[in-house]
Amino acid sequence: MQKHVRAVFLLPLLFALVVGADAHAATATEKFSESDSLRSTVAFWMRIYLEVTGDAGLLHDSRRPGIVYETVEFHGITGRRARQRKVDERRRHWRGALGRLGRGRAPRDDDERAILRMFELDLGRAPTVQELRAASQRVRFQLGQRDKFRQGLIESGAYEDEMRAIFRDLGLPEDLAYLPHVESSFNLRAYSKYGAAGVWQFMRSTGRRYMTINYIIDERLDPIRATRAAAELLRDNYASLGNWPLAITAYNHGDAGMRRAKRRLGTDDLTVIIEKYRSRTFGFASRNFYAQFLAARKIMQSYPSYFGPLQRATPEAVDTLMLPFYADVNDLQQYLGVTPAVLKEFNPSLRPPVYRSGKRIPTDFTLRLPAGTLLPDPETWLAALPEEKRYAEQMRSEYYQVRRGDTLSKIAQNHRTRVSTLVAINNLPSRHRIYPGQVLQLPGARRKAPRPSGLVRTAHAAPRKREFPKDQIQPAPGRPLPLDDNSPWRRIDGDWIVVDAGETLGHLADWLEVPTARLRQLNRISSRRPLRMGQRIHLDFSATSPQVFLQRRIEFHKGIEEDFFGTYTVTGTVDHALVRGQSLWVLSHDIYSVPIWLIHRYNPDANLTQLSPGMKLKIPVVEAN
């Protein structure tokens, strides 16, 4: 056990590194202040980023991360469950030691004596038995990230100068460009279980305020475009909260959440908020976010001293062209010699349907290509694409929502297509893995109409003939979208719908092409009240048809599901009986770590808006691909 205790005494060395790295410009120190109470937390995150790889981790106190009990090493253990068993075993050991000391017992071994020394170093005094007893419930494990941080350091070289320039042009501190090392370890394709995407880990609901995010384009995946969005968000946070520690923490916790914390405690001192603020959502990640940024910033400012000489990625020269029409990737390859692989590499914001299921690159999209592609000039280069391949509108898609008892072969037979086609265009991990409520895209062209299936019904008369804007998806004439009419989540009853997981009033307004204020007025909803899943909402179809609204809504949810299953796999389910006090949020975030929408999809017959003790739910078990 002596090796576990020895790790504690690395802290003074790290404190020295932290203090030394602080000999920076005075203005930077004022912008990114670091209180004495944060130093041990910053030192903890420097250990995570510099000392420990993904083959090990630290058991520590969740409220005082500077108190590190042990380095847990996996020594070739690769299975998630086997690793978790080892972590749980060591956590029980330290909880037991803390519990014993918390009952007033004298220390009996090196581990218990080390605990007392660590608390004395962190608190500046001897701990009370009450503090030790409380700490027994706060033993947390943090996986090491040295290997990920190093790789992100290499990858970020291709973007760092341009990212810093974006912050500089907006009059913001350039060092904010280091935040992606905290958010994603600069993983260009990072995608969380809860839907955060890209190096800046934007959620859809936040990202749509600053970027284009739809079924075809997701600018969260473009590091440069997402950086400008992040800079604008951080600028807004700073204007609202008044200092950078709060503005940066708000990037994780939200501006409204930090304003609430300020108001409740009557202070704008982040260290006081971290120590005293209590909220279900202000958890470990939010409390530590600013300290993580400070740690990443210190490392990035002198990374050669920590990692040695590195060959970082360099920016790649590109040609750009704004498309004056819709274009199919297969046509670009056939007539212009641009392969899908090149398009993917240089245009990360284009989503998989562009390559997999025939969706077209939108008009006015800025296409990026390797430097020297657009020769002799962009107009001449583009002229090689035949006139009939320059489309005026997006390709229309048709969808089917899986019903109980469906199989993929049955769906393929009913819609005159092949199972392999459905698997390919929907990127299904297996032909045997579909579930009730899942939305499948059907091939665009069919020789015959499908056999009768559940159709969406509305109380509207047939919509009047209208001219659709060229960028609007047009429904198939006289053919409603083939979705399950028994599902309240996809049905339009007259002018009413039931709100599904993840939907906001802004989403509904966008799909309807009406101001959000119009829906607030129509439903008598105040500006501070978010929508609830299961809430009935009155819609306004004055600007678009129910069918167009429905298709946009379907593609929103389908995009979320496609992104999720591109990164994670459901490996099974567990039965869960609700106990008093458990909400969907608690099940999703605190117990099972799966998104709410996925719990919803696996319980299509359950009324998840009215949970009660004893109610039984199926919870999907999710693992990274």
Render pLDDT for 54-97 as a digit per residue (tens, 0 to 9). Answer: 999 999 999 999 999 999 999 889 888 899 999 999 999 999 99
Residue 427 burial by Cβ neighbours in a 10 Å radius (0-12, 13-18, 19+): middle
Is residue 103 located within the same domain as residue 177? no
DSSP state of 587: I
Q: What is the pLDDT of residue 403?
A: 82
Q: What is the pLDDT of residue 488?
A: 61
DSSP bridge partners of 493:
496
Stated pTM of the model: 0.84
Is residue 97 located within the same domain as residue 160? no
The phi and psi torsions of 66 (rounded to 5 degrees) equal -65, -15
DSSP state of 126: P
| % of the chain residues with pLDDT over 70 | 87
Greater confidence (259 vs 479) lies with: 259
Measuring CA to CA, how many Å separate 312 from each of 187, 195, 294, 449, 509?
Answer: 14, 29, 22, 55, 44
Whether 547 is in a domain gets the answer yes
Beta carbons of 573 and 200 less than 8 angstroms apart: no
Q: What is the pLDDT of residue 484?
A: 43
Q: pLDDT tier at 242 (50, 70, 90 boundaries)?
A: very high
CA 526 – CA 41 distance, rounded (Å):
40
Is residue 195 located within the same domain as residue 76? no
Q: What is the pLDDT of residue 528?
A: 75
The average pLDDT across 205-209 equals: 92
SS3 35: coil
Q: What is the pLDDT of residue 404?
A: 79
Structural domain count of the chain: 5
Q: pLDDT tier at 605 (50, 70, 90 boundaries)?
A: confident
pLDDT above 70: residue 579? yes
Domain range for 105 is 2-146
Beta carbons of 8 and 114 less than 8 angstroms apart: yes
Is residue 112 located within the same domain as residue 161? no
Is residue 10 located within the same domain as residue 54? yes
Mean pLDDT of the chain: 87
CA 590 – CA 196 distance, rounded (Å):
17
For the ranges 267-271, 325-329, 549-553, the lowest mean pLDDT is seen at: 549-553
* CATH code of the domain containing 607: 3.10.350.10
Q: pLDDT tier at 10 (50, 70, 90 boundaries)?
A: very low
Alpha helices (H) along 477-545: 505-512, 516-523
Q: What is the pLDDT of residue 357?
A: 84
Whether 290 is in a domain gets the answer no
Exposure string over 274-297, b if 16+ CB within 10 A, otherwise e: beebeeeebeeebbbbbbbbbbbb
The average pLDDT across 130-159 equals: 97
pLDDT digits (tens, 9 = 90+) for 337-347: 999 999 999 99
Q: pLDDT tier at 398 (50, 70, 90 boundaries)?
A: confident
Is residue 52 located within the same domain as residue 141? yes
Q: What is the pLDDT of residue 478?
A: 33
298: left (phi over 0), alpha (psi -120 to 50) or beta: alpha
Whether 516 is in a domain gets the answer yes
Beta carbons of 392 and 470 less than 8 angstroms apart: yes
User: Looking at 122, 146, 170, which one is the last position of a domain?
Assistant: 146
DSSP bridge partners of 197:
191, 202
For the ranges 449-453, 573-577, 597-601, the lowest mean pLDDT is seen at: 449-453
Is residue 73 located within the same domain as residue 106? yes
**Mutual angle of helices 223-241 and 255-265, in 10-degree steps:** 20
Alpha helices (H) along 393-530: 408-414, 419-426, 505-512, 516-523
Which has the closest alpha carbon to 510: 476, 555, 465, 558?
555
Whether 600 is in a domain gets the answer yes
The average pLDDT across 569-590 equals: 91
User: Looking at 330, 355, 389, which one is the last position of a domain?
Assistant: 389
User: Looking at 95, 118, 146, which one is the last position of a domain?
Assistant: 146
Q: What is the pLDDT of residue 400?
A: 86
Measuring CA to CA, how many Å separate 545 from each of 322, 437, 444, 507?
Answer: 30, 23, 21, 16
Is residue 555 located within the same domain as residue 573? no
Whether 293 is in a domain gets the answer no
Is residue 17 located within the same domain as residue 141? yes
The average pLDDT across 409-430 equals: 87
Which has the closest alpha carbon to 219: 199, 244, 236?
199
Is residue 6 located within the same domain as residue 141? yes
pLDDT above 60: residue 27? no
DSSP state of 93: H
Q: Do you know the residue count of the chain?
A: 625
Is residue 257 located within the same domain as residue 222? yes
Whether 410 is in a domain gets the answer no
Is residue 333 located within the same domain as residue 278? no
CA angle (218, 602, 426) in 5-degree steps? 40
Greater confidence (401 vs 102) lies with: 102
Q: What is the pLDDT of residue 441?
A: 86
The phi and psi torsions of 55 (rounded to 5 degrees) equal -95, 10
Whether 491 is in a domain gets the answer yes
pLDDT above 90: residue 469? no
The average pLDDT across 171-186 equals: 97
- Residues 455-459: contacts with CB under 8 Å, at least 24 apart: 455/480, 455/481, 455/482, 455/483, 455/485, 456/480, 456/481, 456/482, 456/483, 456/485, 456/490, 456/491, 456/492, 456/550, 457/485, 457/491, 458/492, 458/493, 458/494, 458/546, 459/493, 459/494, 459/495
CA 321 – CA 102 distance, rounded (Å):
67
Q: pLDDT tier at 382 (50, 70, 90 boundaries)?
A: very high
Helix (H) or strand (E) holding 399: strand 398-401
CA 279 – CA 503 distance, rounded (Å):
24
**The two structure tokens encoding residue 110:** 């090196």
Q: pLDDT tier at 489 (50, 70, 90 boundaries)?
A: low
For the ranges 100-109, 236-245, 551-560, the lowest mean pLDDT is seen at: 551-560
Whether 407 is in a domain gets the answer no
The average pLDDT across 8-15 equals: 38
